[in-house]
Chains A and B, each alone.
Chain A
Amino acid sequence: MSSALDRRHPDRAAASPDGNPAVDQGLVPPWRLRRHAAARRASTGRSRWSGWLYMMPALLVYGVFVLVPMGRTVQYSFYDWDGVGPATSVGFDNYRRVFTDPELISTIVHAFELLGFFTVIPIVVGLVVSSLVREVATGRFGTVARTTLFLPQIVPLVAAAIAWSWMYSSQGLVNQTLSLVGLDGLTRPWLSDFTWALPAVGLIGSWVMTGLCTVLFLSGMAKIDRSLYEAARVDGAGPIREFFAITLPGLRQEIGVCVMITIIAALASFDVIYASTQGGPGRATLVPGVAIFRLAFTEHQVGLASALAIVLTLLVLACVLPIQRLVAEKNP
């Protein structure tokens, strides 16, 4: 058998990348794998259908409470409905409004602005911090550190919003600190300021996400082969080179996961904004999540809310999938 495999099979060059590097590297011809698979399938034919039986309960609940609602959201988005009376079909009108109404467009813009705070800052800070503390985050101290850094993920987002709202208020910690260092002129009610409300809310998101990313990266770093660093040091690489050449690539998966989680958190954000600014002042912090809630349940415009929800979903997918692809592709 090995002799057949040792020979480079003529099919190999023609075979498209299988996703299976064993095939790509010419170690195993694809047809051989398929034969194995077929043989295997034949022997486990019966359990292939019982597998579905085991899946049914989960798929049922999922279907009823997730897929059907999603389908209905799509359906609602083509109607003008106040949620109580009869509905009128309006075709793509709602979608047109989502893309032409400046208020609704601004919500999407705000969501993307939040990306900087929910994603970029936590990842950058997480990378920097974990690189710096890699050595010291061990033992008892390390456990305490990890626990502390994880707290923002444990605390309900509403509570985080309340805590930060208080810090941002006219008498809160932020203004108090500014006064202490003599920057009295900069004090203001941050969450009511048209320019600073969104960054302020974004910072809440940074607070929530940074700990998670840091701990994730710390654990990811623990898996990177020490010998790589030693080799690099021998070659004369400084800490910066080490970081970019070894740490960063080694953390690819973790970064990917972090990016994914934070992007979804940023674009779909609701809790934090609802509990802190409600979208104000004016509409400066209005994000799609809050707009959808308000349109559907306060302003009784269910169709428009549904259209915005679908647009939001597509946006999330559009952001998340390429990242996933990017992270996955370079894997060995």
Chain B
Amino acid sequence: MAGSRVWGGRRWRLTPGLLLVHDGRTLSGFETPTARPDIGGLMNRFPFAHAYSVSPKVSATAGLLLTCLILGGCGTPGSDQPEADPPPEVSTELSSDEVTLEVVAGSCDEALMQALADAFMEENPQVTIDLTLDDCTQLPANAPRLMASDDPPDLIRLSTLGTAVEDDLLTNLDPYADAYGWDQLPATQLEQLRVSDDGRTRGSGSLYGMPFGFGLTGVYYNKDKAAAIGMNEPPGTVEEFEALLAASEAAGETALMASNQDGLVAYAYQGLANQFADRDALGQWIYTAADATFDMDGTRQAAEDIQRWAEEGYFPDGVNALNQDQVLGQFIEGEGVFYYSGNWRAATLDEQMADNVGFFLMPPTDARGPQVAMSAPAGMGIPRRSDQINTAAFFLHWLQSDTARSLEVQISGLAPAGSPNQPTPEVAPGSVSEALLHAWNDLNESDGLIAFLADATPGINTSALIPEMQLLVEGKTSPEEFVSAVQDAYAQELGS
């Protein structure tokens, strides 16, 4: 063989790698796959380490740093967002041209969204609605990215506006509010969809979304079991409610059904916090007003109570492992006396539990105190760079039509979009759907609505509320730590 010679009685060869090979086996330690049995390419991941004297660790780190420095480049990361086209002329007429509306909603809204889409397409055949569903818990976090993408949807479900307005991702709907007369609707309805001029504080200012219904929370109860523990009428104060919980637990029942894998013990928590803390201050915090803080005596006290309830065993066993669908199923099967949830479950409960389910709003601390309940518009917004803004706005207005209102109430149990002066959609008398509709109207009049804690920022739910609620219920964090952890996460996310 050319290039080989004999040394020390063995035949040596110089390979291209400048390494000596004899009998197919290298001496330098450099592995070649066929020379020495080895594990194919896996062995060759770090082939050179043997052959060089510089410590691989040093050279690799040097290589890493060098590469990164060279390629890191200067300049600030920032949005090179292409300018959006100027918004089209506001028109309240639906064009007769074929048009496709891309709609993104959460998978938990599937039934209602599909029904609404079908009904709309039937009335307006020239419009095709392309419905995409995203995971419900992930959508609030994904929404900003979807809106900022090059091909944003025409309508997107927004459970919270977050920094979408500050980052200029949404169409300002004020002109449409004027054209369609949306500002005639009760102010409290659309409050959460308004953002002030600083782009951040919600609760007032320009309108950026319209709802397909309103959620409302409160306590459902199993009528048979409630009667069994001696409940004759809904509790009038928090104290009475707690006494009923204690009675349920004593009777061997699960007192308060809740799921905490998704952190929804937060409903009960906020139900208490609404009463213990100054409602306006809490509301301002949710709307990310400047100088608002979560650190209040009321929030701490609510945390204490929840922790005490957990210790007393009012929540189901393994509550941290349960999600909302499981708990709903269990409550329908007859487990638990009370169930803190919202009107979006009303339709299912009426259907499955017929006359055995009742509803009451979370009672106040004082018998004559104002009732407060969490409510949120099931809002949809139009991304700024959508190419079908007029059509999308038309759809938003259509959500207040009688057809849409019936669907909203019947399929999902949400309080319907639109004015309370419009005819109330039909609900079965004595059903929880009816009770909820009444509660909705009452609270609108008495201004007893507040937004959800989880809607404060896009990330606060997954980053703080869910984990902290899980820790709180297990007794692994103190009420003080709970409150400060939530406030810290809030401050971090808002960059203050």
Contacts and interface: CB of A to CB of B under 8 A. Distances in A.
On whether A and B touch (CB less than 8 Å), the answer reads yes
Contacts of A331: 29, 50
A20 B56 CA distance: 17
A199 interface: no
Nearest to B468: A282
Which among B43, B169, B318, B467 has the highest number of chain A CB atoms within 10 Å? B467
A282 B142 CA distance: 22
A254 B37 CA distance: 11
B145 A297 contact: yes
A282 B471 contact: yes
B318 A170 contact: yes
Contact of B320 (A28, A281, A302, A325): A281
A325 B49 contact: yes
A85 interface: yes
A281 B49 CA distance: 42
Contacts of B18: 33, 36-37, 40
A91 B60 CA distance: 24
Chain B interface residue number, banded: 35 or more
A328 to B, nearest CB: 5
B1 interface: no
Interface string A272-287: 0000001111110000
B463 A298 contact: yes
Given A254-B39, A260-B45, A28 B20 contact: yes
A237 interface: no
Interface in A312-332: 313-314, 317-318, 321-322, 324-325, 328, 331-332
B167 interface: yes
B33 to A, nearest CB: 12
Interface stretch (B3-11, B150-158, B186-194): B3-11
A92 interface: no
A294 to B, nearest CB: 6
Contacts of A182: none
A71 B163 CA distance: 28
A19 B7 contact: no
B232 interface: no
A325 B56 contact: yes
A167 interface: no
A192 B318 contact: yes
A331 B39 CA distance: 15
B401 interface: no
B28 A87 contact: no
A10 interface: no
B73 interface: yes
B53 A85 contact: no
Contacts of A322: 57
A216 B248 CA distance: 59
Nearest to A36: B14
B141 interface: yes
Interface in B31-76: 31, 37-39, 42-43, 45-46, 49-53, 55-57, 60-61, 64, 67-73, 76
B46 A63 contact: no
B495 interface: yes
A132 interface: no
Contacts of A328: 29, 46, 49-50
Contacts of B471: 281-282
B118 to A, nearest CB: 32
Given A82-B163, A170-B321, A298-B462, A70 B56 contact: no
A192 B321 contact: yes
A84 B79 contact: yes
A183 B42 CA distance: 44
A124 interface: no
A174 interface: no
B20 A300 contact: no
Interface residues of A, number: 74
Contact of B38 (A70, A170, A253): A253
B493 A2 contact: no
Given A325-B55, A325-B56, A328-B46, A84 B28 contact: no
A223 B39 CA distance: 11
Interface string A159-194: 000000000011000000000000000001101101
Contact of A85 (B45, B46, B166): B166
Contact of A325 (B8, B31, B57): B57
Contacts of A71: 67-73
A238 interface: no
Given A28-B20, A317-B60, A324-B46, A19 B167 contact: no
B495 to A, nearest CB: 6
A37 B17 CA distance: 10
Interface in A199-257: 216, 219-220, 223, 253-254, 257
B27 A20 contact: yes
Contacts of B169: 84
A250 B141 CA distance: 51
A153 interface: no
A130 interface: no
A272 to B, nearest CB: 18
A16 interface: yes
A331 B51 CA distance: 12
Contacts of B76: 79, 86-87, 89
B71 A280 contact: no
Given A84-B167, A219-B39, A300-B163, A19 B51 contact: yes
B51 to A, nearest CB: 5
Given A22-B20, A82-B163, A299 B493 contact: yes
Q: Which of B46, B55, B73 has the most CB of A within 10 A?
A: B46
Given A19-B50, A281-B320, A324-B46, A298 B29 contact: no
A262 interface: no
Contacts of A36: 14, 18
A27 B8 contact: yes
Nearest to B10: A27
A298 B52 CA distance: 44
Nearest to A70: B68
A74 B68 contact: yes
CB-based closest 3 A-B pairs: A71-B71, A299-B459, A192-B321
12 contacts: A1-B5, A19-B50, A36-B18, A40-B14, A68-B71, A75-B77, A85-B78, A280-B261, A281-B467, A297-B141, A297-B145, A331-B50
Given A70-B68, A79-B76, A194-B474, 9 more contacts: A22-B12, A33-B18, A71-B71, A192-B321, A279-B467, A297-B142, A317-B64, A321-B60, A325-B56
